[in-house]
Structure 1
């Protein structure tokens, strides 16, 4: 997949389409990468139209399934709420979105087009419980998690006590971008601390904010957890993270066509390292040195990320959140993101085959291999049917 940004991609002239939002940075950056590789500008099929059944594909077209986020109308169609800052409604969002992805990919494949993602894999990645179980079954290191279902604060408190877990992450099963995530510490009976970006309104409704806050009254924490439970939650042990510059650190590794191509360190003063919550990009070279000093290699990080991505072989690109333990000695996978490639101004890792390319150019360069694989699978299906 070695390709300079200015040289024509293999198969130049291929037709591309994007199911996304025209105003979404992912969509516009992918379109720019398509043009830079010598292809015609991709057709953009807006999610707001796709969700109403308006779409069509052509034979040989490569169809990128993009994020439906950052559009209030689309959010309303998927979650049934007029306020995009609301936390609730993720279970309904998951049902509607995954149904739409199945319909779109089915239509594309019947037309002879190739899609960037497998609909069943997308459904698993957007269910943290199922994703965690799939990774664990494949031997990918993950934080220990509580078995479900979890019925509310009282039940959660008892399960945590039985599992001897005093610090945990509570994650909405179908959430993204840290929406609804709670970092919970329990120091003893009645002594709790919940760190989250969720604001609880007087009527009990939950809203996302850009300010991380702390709840220390058990009644407040109980109200928060009980409001999250109806949509489903995933609870896992809060692993102590490595630090960089006195800030908690983890890594986002982008894997394209099975190969780790891009990596960024994310640091924060808070347990959540998301950039929109005050996180910042860290120093990747410093992470390399810290890992070597601990007797390891950065290749260990990439190997863990690639093993996680291998659990989703039908999806061209995933973003893997790798959690380094204190001292940078061990690594676990926190999440696998179907749309985890928005890393502007980041070029490929040395030796990755994507040197000089951003995450979108790397995906464009990999489409030829994806198309060949789809053709082989279709031929195998035809000969065995």
Structure 2
């Protein structure tokens, strides 16, 4: 069994997946650089090879091929990124089919997961609890109008094709007041991602921010207040492999975004499990299983699980096609991945015949 990985040379994901293959007694995977795929180079695959599609992130050259030239930290370009990325996915699928190689993920499902509007609609139709969405937002004026119609005062505004909280805005309104919390910073080079979360508190600033983001397409949903642990709001990233929740990490923060690269910190999973109780934890994992089941051709789905105040309500904030980069995290006790990291668990699932998508 030989893996080929569409990925980024030097990326941590590629190194961790290669280590997982070695630990399972498999040959070193062959890396197919995303830059080659995006430039239209010939995709060479052999019958029986397993093609794993990994993130094209972390490579400025690949980013420029996807979004076009510009500051690598800029917010925006998501619509072009999506068009270029999904076209490349279709090329990989066609090459795998023509050569007799096998894909480890359904490219159509990856495309849906990278469009927050489509993934939200798919989960909603399947009965998965998701925060209600506000449709038809194409700018700040429309946003405030939709919020008034829905009697919402707190929403999350998300670029339709963004990732890593790029351009995400947590918006709160009250009579005569508005506050937008985001990692997007206004600079002489335009709107850039920052590792520091900031707040904009004037109507003009917030309107300009939303109007700058709107041309890329927006997904707006109700802000579900999160439960807290140790004075910090938290949610869960749950990795579902072959339909089983195998890994979970608590992400805590003092601001609305819990992403670890924005100052979030890993919390105490055991404490959260005890607070939820056996029944609450079972219900939480069931939501993750149902979310992942909306993508049956995907070996792995990363689920961002929202836990509401009072620990009784759950919702899915997002699903992630490449949500397995959790270094040092081993599988849940008692599960099939106990003691294994997310990559080793996926290789093990393939070896056991679970979840592979044959083209």
TM-score when scaled to structure 1? 0.91
1:225 lines up with 2:192 in the alignment: no
Shift of 1:351: 2.6
Matched, 1:44 2:31: yes
Shift of 1:201: 2.7
Distance 1:335 1:71 in 2: 24
Count of matched residue pairs: 358
Q: Distance in 2 between matches of 1:66 and 1:261?
A: 19
Please tell me whether the aligned partners of residues 242 and 355 of structure 2 are also in contact (alpha carbons under 8 angstroms). no
Residues of 2 paired with 1:143 and 1:311: CA distance? 17
Residues in 2 aligned to 1:100 and 1:324: alpha-carbon distance in whole angstroms: 36
| 1:21-36 matched pairs, under 5 angstroms | 21-36=8-23
Deviations 1:304-338 (A, max 9, x none): 10100000011111100000000211111000000
Gaps of 5+ in 1: 1-13, 379-385
- Deviation sequence 1:182-232 (CA, Å, 0-9, x none): 0000012x41000000012357x3110001000000100000000000000
* DSSP-derived class of the 1:19 partner: strand
* Matching residue within 311, 315, 319 for 1:336: 319
1:105–1:370 Cα change, 3 Å: farther
2:342 corresponds to which of 359, 369, 378? 359
String of CA shifts for 1:279-302, please: whole Å, max 9, x gaps. Answer: 00000011011112xx83311111
Q: 1:374, CA displacement in angstroms?
A: 4.3
Residue 71 (structure 1) aligned to one of 59, 72, 80: 59
Which of 168, 177, 182 pairs up with 1:191?
177
Cα distance in 2 for partners of 1:363, 1:372 equals 9
RMSD: 1.4
Determine the C-alpha separation between the residues in 1 that align with 2:133 and 2:112: 16
Give the Cα separation in 1 of the matches to 2:4 and 2:33: 10
Superimposed CA distance per residue, residues 44-97 of structure 1 (whole angstroms, 9 cap, x where no aligned partner): 000001112222111111111000000000000000023110111000000100
Aligned residues of 1:72 and 1:82 also touching (Cα < 8 A): no
1:211 aligned onto 2:196 = yes
Cα distance in 2, alignment partners of residues 371 and 252 from structure 1 = 22
Contact (CA 8 Å) 1:296, 1:329: kept in 2 or not?
A: no
1:103-118 correspondence runs (5 A): 103-118=91-106
Structure 2 segments unaligned to the other structure (5+ residues)? none
Q: Distance in 1 between matches of 2:211 and 2:357?
A: 44
SS of the equivalent of 1:206 reads strand
Residue 224 of structure 1 aligns to a residue whose secondary structure is helix
TM-score for both structures, normalised by structure 2: 0.97
Q: Are positions 1:84 and 2:72 aligned together?
A: yes
Q: Secondary structure at the match of 1:363?
A: helix
Runs of 4+ that moved beyond 6 A: none
Distance in 2, matches of 1:325 and 1:372, equals 31
